[in-house]
Every structure is written in structure tokens, then in C-alpha cells.
């Protein structure tokens, strides 16, 4: 069930990033993308953290670079920015889960 919810959140975030690139008058789209990313973050494992960080960096580097493409460059940059916001939400979730695991591990070590 969790995989379905997190997958749906990821899909909606990507679609919302695309729609947001063309409909700039949607209020709080950034917050919606961030929250969808936070939900999607529960579907990723600890081994995927490095890939997520690279994706966030890649989106931030590629976004401004695609603006040189005539006609569609600005839209691509807006899509990359939206997806980057969702990926930031995923990273927030994974960081909080990792911190929780560290604290629980440390407390278990003190008890034993």
C-alpha cells in the first residue's frame, strides 16, 4: 500500500511540475510539490540517497542551461525547478528518517 501511495505522490508531483511550468498563476504550487516530495520520500530506500542528491544537483545545473533552447527552454527550466522542489521534499524525508535511525540506534546502544 505504501508503494502505491508514494508512487502516486511522485507521479502527481511530476505532472504538477509540468502543469506549473505552463500555468504560472497557480498559488502555492511550490508548497504542493514539496509536500508531494515529502510523501514520495517514504518510498525510497537508504541506498538511493546518493542518487537523489545527484538528481537534485543535476536539476539545478541543467535548469539554467536549457534556457538557451529557443521557445521551450523557459518551460523546461520551470519543469526542472518544479521537479527539483519535489526532490528536495524527498531529501527532507530521507534525512529525517536517517536522523531518527541514528538516534534510535544510539539509544539502543546506551541501553545494552
Question: Is the confidence at residue 112, as pLDDT, over 80?
Answer: no
pLDDT in tens, 72-106: 999 999 999 999 999 999 999 999 999 999 999 98
pLDDT in tens, 3-56: 899 999 999 999 999 999 999 888 899 999 999 999 999 999 989 999 999 999
Please give the model's pTM, rounded to 2 decimal places: 0.90
**Total count of domains within the chain:** 1
Q: Which of 74, 83, 93 is nearest to 22 (CA)?
A: 74
The residue assigned the cell 528536495 is 88
Q: Which residues of 32-65 are buried (b: 16+ CB within 10 A; e: fewer)?
A: bbbebbbbbbebbeeeebeebeebbeebeeebee
| Cα 46 from Cα 106, distance rounded (Å) | 18
pLDDT of res. 75: 95
- Largest Cα separation within the chain, whole Å, is 63
**Which residues span the domain enclosing 32?**
2-111
Sign for the CA dihedral angle at 94, 98, 99, 103 comes to positive
Amino acid at each position: 500500500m505504501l508503494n502505491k501511495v508514494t508512487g502516486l505522490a511522485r507521479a502527481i508531483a511530476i505532472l504538477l511540475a509540468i502543469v506549473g511550468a505552463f500555468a504560472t498563476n497557480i498559488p502555492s504550487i511550490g508548497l504542493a510539490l514539496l509536500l508531494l516530495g515529502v510523501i514520495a520520500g517514504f518510498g525510497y530506500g537508504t541506498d538511493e540517497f546518493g542518487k537523489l542528491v545527484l538528481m537534485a544537483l543535476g536539476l539545478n545545473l541543467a535548469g539554467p542551461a536549457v534556457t538557451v533552447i529557443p521557445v521551450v527552454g523557459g518551460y523546461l527550466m520551470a519543469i526542472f525547478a518544479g521537479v527539483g522542489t519535489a526532490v528536495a521534499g524527498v531529501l527532507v524525508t530521507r534525512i529525517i528518517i536517517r536522523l531518527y535511525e541514528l538516534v534510535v540506534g544510539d539509544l539502543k546502544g546506551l541501553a545494552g
